Amino acid sequence: MRLVLLGPPGAGKGTQAAALAAELGLAHIASGDLFREAVERGTELGLQAKSHMEQGKLVPNDITIRMILERLQAADARDGFIMDGFPRNLEQAQALDEALSQKGLALDKVVCLQVSTEELVRRLGGRWVCRRCQAPYHMVNNPPRVAGKCDRCGGELYQRPDDTEETIRKRLDVYLAETAPLLNYYRGQGKLVEVNGTPGVEAVSRELLSILKRR
Ligand code: AP5
Ligand code: MG
Ligand code: ZN
C-alpha cells in the first residue's frame, strides 16, 4: 500500500502515520522528521533546511524532492509506505506521481485529516517531541509514561522551535496557500479520503484502519 497523509500542522499526521506504519508494515516517510534529523546532525541538508523551518516556510522544492526520492529508494519502502508531510505543493505531488509511474507504480490513497484551527493551535502549544526518534506527545492529550522521556526509545523530549504562536500561524497560512490545493488534485484522481481528525488518537487510528482495510 502506498499512502499519503495530508493535513494542517498539528492534525496528527506524525501520530497516525507511526501507528499505521506499525500496524500495516509500511515505511513511515516523514519529510519534517528527515529535515530535523539533518539539522540535529548539522549536515549540509540540515543547514539548507534550518532557516526555512524556523520561519515556518517550505524548504525549497529541489532540496525536498531530492531528499524524498532518495528515501523512497531504500529497501523498506519497496513494499509500501506512508508519507507524512510530503507532498506539500503541486510540484512535489507531480514529482512523486512521476517517480512512481516510472516504476509502474502509483499512490493507492491520500488521506486528509481535518481538524479545526482552534484545536490545531491547542495541540501544537502542548506538544513535546522525542529528540531521538521524533515521536510526538502532548502534555494533556497524550503524555509520556515518564515525564520528559520518550516511551518508545527513552530519548529526551523537547518543544520544537517552530511551535511558537507566531510560527504556528505562519505554518497554517502556508498550508492553506500551498498545500490545501492538493486536495483538489487528489480528488481529481479519485484518491482522496477526508477523515475527521478531531476525536482522540485511538478513535482516529481505528477509523483510518477501517477505511484502509475496506479498500
Ligand atoms: P512537519 O514536521 O511536517 O510539520 P507540520 O506539517 O507542521 O506538522 P506537524 O508535525 O506540526 O503536525 P502533525 O500533523 O505531524 O501532528 P502530530 O502528530 O505531531 O514540517 C516542519 C517543517 O519542515 C515545515 O514547516 C517546513 O519548513 C519543512 N518541511 C517539511 N516537509 C516539507 C515539504 N514537503 N516541503 C517543504 N518543506 C517541508 O500531533 C500534534 C500534537 O497533537 C501532538 O502533541 C499530539 O500528541 C497531539 N495529537 C495528535 N493526534 C491527536 C488527537 N487525535 N487528539 C488529541 N491530540 C492529538
Ligand atoms: Mg509531524
Ligand atoms: Zn523516542
For residue 213, what pLDDT is reported? 87
**H-helix or E-strand containing 41?**
helix 31-41
Residue nearest to atom 18 of ligand 1 (CA): 12
CA–CA separation, 138 vs 124, rounded Å? Answer: 8
2-114+179-214 belongs to which homologous superfamily? Answer: P-loop containing nucleotide triphosphate hydrolases (3.40.50.300)
Q: Is the dihedral of CA 203, 204, 208, 214 positive or negative?
A: positive
Residue nearest to atom 9 of ligand 1 (CA): 9
- Residue range 31-49: mean pLDDT, rounded: 97
| Residues annotated as part of the active site | 13, 88, 127, 160, 171
Domains of the chain by residue range: 2-114+179-214
Residue nearest to atom 17 of ligand 1 (CA): 12
CA–CA separation, 4 vs 81, rounded Å? Answer: 8
Kindly provide the residue ranges of all beta strands, DSSP E only, lying in 21-176, ordered along the sequence.
27-30, 81-84, 109-114, 127-130, 136-138, 157-158
- Residue range 22-36: mean pLDDT, rounded: 97
With a Cβ cut-off of 6 Å, ligand 1 is lined by 7, 9-15, 31-32, 35, 52-53, 56-59, 64, 85-86, 88, 92, 123-124, 127, 136-138, 141-142, 162, 171, 197, 200-201, 204
Average pLDDT of the chain, as a whole number: 96
CA–CA separation, 135 vs 132, rounded Å? Answer: 8
Kindly provide the residue ranges of all beta strands, DSSP E only, lying in the chain, ordered along the sequence.
2-6, 27-30, 81-84, 109-114, 127-130, 136-138, 157-158, 192-196
- Residue range 197-206: mean pLDDT, rounded: 96
CA 134, 38, 29: angle at the middle one, nearest 5?
55
* 96 has a pLDDT exceeding 80: yes
Q: What's the gap in Å between 73 CA and the centre of ligand 3?
A: 25
The amino acid present at 61, given as its one-letter code, is N
* 215 has a pLDDT exceeding 80: no
| pTM passes above 0.85 | yes
